[in-house]
């Protein structure tokens, strides 16, 4: 069946008006076909037992005998976190960074979160929560996000399988049997990907761990990178102040977490430095190396790097040595404004280059004092 062959009253406009209408239909217990970035899905309101039964019938027709729990779909990453406030810090980072996007998160609920989720889901709870896990997805498709927000009830979606059993990547692939059971459909054109979302399993407490339960669009290498908490220090040439700050912070964070400095990446903690006017590949100043070595930190392997947009984008928090550095960063990458601050709110940290070893020691001592409070408050 083609999209044009669908009854005209079923075709909803790919607009806010159409998304609002789709949301109202879902809230009323009807099934609606909507696009995502991976496949077209059949959306249903979880409070409706009739909608759940109809959705289950579609799943049974496509994959008979396979019992699956519903995946809750949400319009924003914040809404996803609202379902699982007790998730680990690592899980929170992954959810925040990966969503909206082609990733589903299977989260182990804390007892408190499980109780709240069950109350919110009502009679559908046993069909959604499986062995203490709740699965969440936030599609990266504007109309579908608007539909989910407009529905005002917990919504699940299932992949709309084609007549051959594969995914529906265009509305024209929707089989007639499914079209006859829905009350509306939005045609968003061909999906961006032709692979399923990646399914990531998260624990709930402690430092946090994750595993890939189902391969999909986003591979594990990218997820490992997204899981990192990256602290970035910025100065001018990236040979004195910011490398010293990074080396000292690395030593301090390792002590805080009870690991060796080289083991921090295994805990998904990355400390870097860069310079707004840096050349790539310069060694740290000899005075900087000697100063931090006397304080139990290591700069021997440092090579300078410029503060590129990619470096700034990957950072979770950025500390600059001066206000001018911060201003330049925000000009380079406005998206960094909310996560960038001068390391000393009271004033700039002066550049010790050319001022002798005493100036380096003074700067290093000041950096240690300045780092104590922000590092202790990081959600690692």
Residues annotated as catalytic are: 235, 241, 351
Nearest to 139 by CA among 181, 90, 191: 191
CA distance 234 to 137: 35
Distance CA(68)–CA(21), nearest Å, equals: 28
Rg (CA), the chain: 25
Helix H or strand E encompassing 110: none
Answer yes or no: are the C-beta atoms of 322 and 245 closer than 8 Å. no
Compute CA distances 19 → 86, 144, 145, whole Å.
31, 7, 8
**Helical residues (DSSP H) of 228-265, grouped into ranges:** 241-257
Is residue 42 within 8 Å of residue 157, measured between CB atoms? yes
In angstroms, what CA-CA distances link 324 with 260, 328, 342? 34, 6, 9
Euclidean distance between CA atoms 247 and 249, whole angstroms: 5
How many C-beta neighbours within 10 Å does residue 211 have?
12
Q: Please say whether the beta carbons of 51 and 182 come within 8 A.
A: no
Strand partners, 35: 40
Task: Output the CA angle 310-314-315, nearest 5 degrees.
Answer: 120
CA–CA distance, 279 with 303 (Å, rounded to integer): 9
Tell me the two tokens of residue 73.
């779909």
């Amino acid at each position: 069946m083609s999209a044009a062959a669908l009854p005209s009253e079923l075709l909803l406009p790919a607009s806010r008006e159409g998304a609002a209408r789709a949301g109202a239909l879902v809230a009323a217990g009807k099934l609606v076909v909507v696009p995502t970035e991976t496949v077209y899905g059949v959306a249903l309101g979880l409070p409706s037992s009739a909608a759940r039964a109809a959705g289950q019938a579609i799943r049974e027709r496509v994959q008979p005998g396979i019992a699956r729990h519903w995946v809750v779909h949400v319009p924003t990453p914040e809404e996803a976190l609202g379902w699982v406030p007790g998730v680990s810090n690592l899980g929170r980072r992954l959810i925040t960074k990966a969503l909206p996007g082609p990733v589903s998160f299977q989260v182990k609920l804390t007892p408190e979160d499980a109780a709240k989720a069950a109350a919110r889901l009502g009679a559908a709870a046993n069909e959604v929560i499986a062995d203490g896990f709740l699965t969440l997805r936030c599609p990266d498709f504007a109309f579908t996000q608007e539909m989910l927000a407009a529905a005002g009830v917990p919504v699940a979606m299932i992949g709309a399988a084609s007549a051959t059993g594969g995914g529906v990547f265009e509305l024209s692939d929707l089989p007639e049997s499914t079209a006859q059971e829905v009350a509306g459909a939005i045609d968003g054109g061909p999906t961006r990907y032709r692979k399923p979302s990646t399914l990531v399993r998260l624990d709930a407490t402690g430092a946090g761990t994750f595993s890939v339960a189902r391969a999909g669009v986003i591979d594990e290498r990218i997820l490992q990178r997204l899981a990192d908490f990256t602290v970035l220090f910025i100065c001018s040439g990236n040979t004195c102040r910011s490398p010293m700050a990074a080396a000292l912070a690395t030593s301090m964070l390792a002590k805080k977490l009870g690991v060796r400095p080289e083991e921090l990446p295994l805990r998904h903690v990355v400390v870097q430095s860069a310079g707004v006017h840096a050349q790539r590949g310069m060694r740290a100043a000899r005075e900087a190396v000697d100063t931090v070595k006397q304080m139990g930190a290591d700069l021997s392997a440092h090579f300078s790097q410029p503060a590129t947009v990619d470096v700034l984008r990957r950072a979770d928090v950025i500390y600059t040595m001066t206000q001018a550095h911060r201003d330049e960063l925000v000009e380079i990458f406005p998206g960094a404004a909310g996560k960038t601050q001068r390391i000393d709110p009271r004033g700039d940290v002066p550049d010790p280059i050319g001022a002798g070893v005493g100036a380096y020691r003074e700067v290093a001592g000041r950096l240690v004092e300045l780092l104590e409070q922000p590092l202790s408050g990081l959600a690692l």
